[in-house]
Amino acid sequence: MRNLKMIVQYDGSRYKGWQKQKGVDLTIQSKLENVLSKMTGEEVQVVGCGRTDTGVHAENYVANFHTASTMKIDEIQDYLYEYLPEDIVVKSMKDTSERFHARYNVKSKTYVYRINNNKFRDVFSRRYVYHLNEELNLQYMKDAAKVLIGTHDFQSFTSLKSNTKSTVRTINYINISDNNGVIEIEVNGNGFLLNMVRIITGTLLEAGRGKYSAADIEKILMEKKRSEAGPIAPAKGLCLKVVNY
């Protein structure tokens, strides 16, 4: 059996996230598995580097699958390009080690959240950028973000209800920049909880409005209650940028 690693780009606007669900066809994983299974005549299972929420996008999502097919890499990519929907593209593919696992071997991921902070929304980017016509103080946001860097219990920053799984994660950096009114919040960490990046974003936006100080962020972490953190930012502004192994 071959183990093939692929990098996938997708527009998540119309999908219910990465992970396949019973009775739901509109997931990225199910679309890939359906096409690969038809191509190989096998029941292909695609392993992803993690879940992405409904409506979230990916620039370089990493996945792998096993197959006995002897088709060439170019032939497989061409087949996928022809039969996958236009909003999913396999950018690259290669044979990899039998031991490679797209999820278990991840060292860190980088997500980018984009906010159009100009007066008017941009028609052409509206599906990928959250428009917010409110004055934001970027220094307040940066000061609040510094508190989140490092290893913490992020229970206040997830929609996860279960108490059986650890909510401790490490954030390596958060970069916040403004380019002509488009604010980018880039977050890199060793792993992310359900809705974690979007809740961090919503909380940093509240800091930008002057609602939270850096000291407040420390208290939110210590409280370990979802109700203490800010609102969840809309999914459309979030994109998985890089996965590191």
Nearest to 96 by CA among 64, 69, 144, 48: 64
Active-site residue identified among 53, 95, 122, 216: 53
Q: At 36, give phi and psi (nearest 5°).
A: -65, -35
Catalytic site includes residue 53: yes
Integer Cα distance of 129 and 124 in angstroms? 10
d(CA 61, CA 90): 9
Q: CA-to-CA distance for 18 and 153, rounded, in angstroms?
A: 25
Q: How many of the other CB atoms lie within 10 Å of CB of 156? A: 23
Distance CA 240, CA 57 (A): 6
**Residues recognised as catalytic:** 53
